[in-house]
Structure 1
Amino acid sequence: MNNRIRTDIAHNARVWNYWLGGKDNYPVDRAVGDQVTSFYPSIGEVARADRAFLGRAVTRLAAGEGVRQFLDIGTGLPTADNTHEVAQRIVPDARIVYVDNDPIVLTHARALLTSSPEGVTEYVDADAHDPEKVLAGAAEVLDLSRPVAVLMLGLLNFVMDTDEARSIVRTLMAAVPSGSHLVLTHPTLDPELGGEGNVAAMAFWNENATPPITARTREEFASFFDGLELLDPGIVSCSRWGAPEAAAVAQFGAVARKP
């Protein structure tokens, strides 16, 4: 695999970083980010809502569900309130494994590899398309015989085939025991959430940036949770999960428990 960092084509991790107000991006990322925003003005709100959802979901799992282990796949570039920071504020001995295969994320991994003295934070260089490799790396840090929260925020939308995306989820959740949780967000074209703006934005993205992206319906998103028990409030706009009065964004969010 060629791990050279491409600065001539926009990349999701860096554009997302730009939308979040970060500095780890290049002119091409800002140009594409601005063009996507012109098609879909609320994309920055989606990015911020997704990040806020992460904090609320991890807080609930650590404080309310007794989760002490987190597998965060598709980490992206570090920003404020990363998974380990949220979890270890509540549970200092929490163990967190970050997974990504983006070379620019890898160069920033050291910023993620901080931890409370009692806990552990590690980074695995692996592709979500290879869940067995993800699990092998995670097993070096996490005890997969004890509950694990598996997080994939804004990740499965880069797995273009829905059957493959379901297979990835099934493989990961089959490897963790009862009491584990699945945490997902995913963009949608659902007009009830304002998703029609995603159509032109995603078409532009797929012509000008990498990796390609797809939206999914509520029913397709729900299928990722087959066999799991959704936590309240179920499948909602990620901005409204744990914050019911917030304005909706065109990004589903949900958390479910493995029975």
Structure 2
Amino acid sequence: MGFRVVTLNLNGIRSAATKGFEAWAEAAGADFMGVQEVRAQEADVVDRFKRVAGLEGHFHFAQKKGYSGVGLYTKRDPSAVITGFGCDEFDPEGRYVELRFDSSARKFSVISAYFPSGSSGEERQAAKFRFLERFWHHLAALRASGREFILMGDFNIAHQAIDLKNWRGNQKNSGFLPEERAWFSRMVSQELGLVDVYRRLHPEATEDCYTWWSNRGQAWAKNVGWRLDYQVATPEIAHSAHAAAVHKASRFSDHAPLTIDYGLSL
């Protein structure tokens, strides 16, 4: 049977809607759609965006208005909805929603997450490092529990040199710092054992892989991009994936949607 998963940083759900996000989602045919940087509160979403493309939305909103926030849309009813990952510092920022679909045969979760950016300065970069440390322990606990999952979202990290256009000039910039890249490498090594699904399917892709472009200069026009948006999965789920693509024919935000098709029946 299989299923389709889409992830997209919206850079504001209301803004993305004015640019055709809902019509695109309708045509995309996703079973699960994770969105990040919703930049809205429950009152803004409940009437207009609670359902998109026939999918029911579940959200984790930031306490601060107009900031962060994640959502996860689904065709099927979850057995549990979890908002936040148990971190007093970052849960108020609305960065994590997990839907569980548990049965006697399988414990399976789909997660939409929005990692902090450290680009605004040293203080936020330090916060980003604290987030990565706390989130590592959370992922490790999920793995230890035997749960299978897909973690999707804006990681704000380009893992390898082929994941951004100007890698030489960005080695001291947030998003491509050695410590951030090392964290990602640990996640997809035997230490945690997760799989970067797009990279498994497209190991050599360079310019086609980018999912974010700065609004400065001619970054979009010249495809000076970064791969910041991912679907990372436990091995059995990841190895069932058979197609992955970044949608660039239309733009809803400064990020592009990443769509991956999985062959596993849930």
Same fold (TM over 0.5): no
So what's the TM-score if we normalise by structure 1? 0.43
- TM-score, normalization by structure 2: 0.43
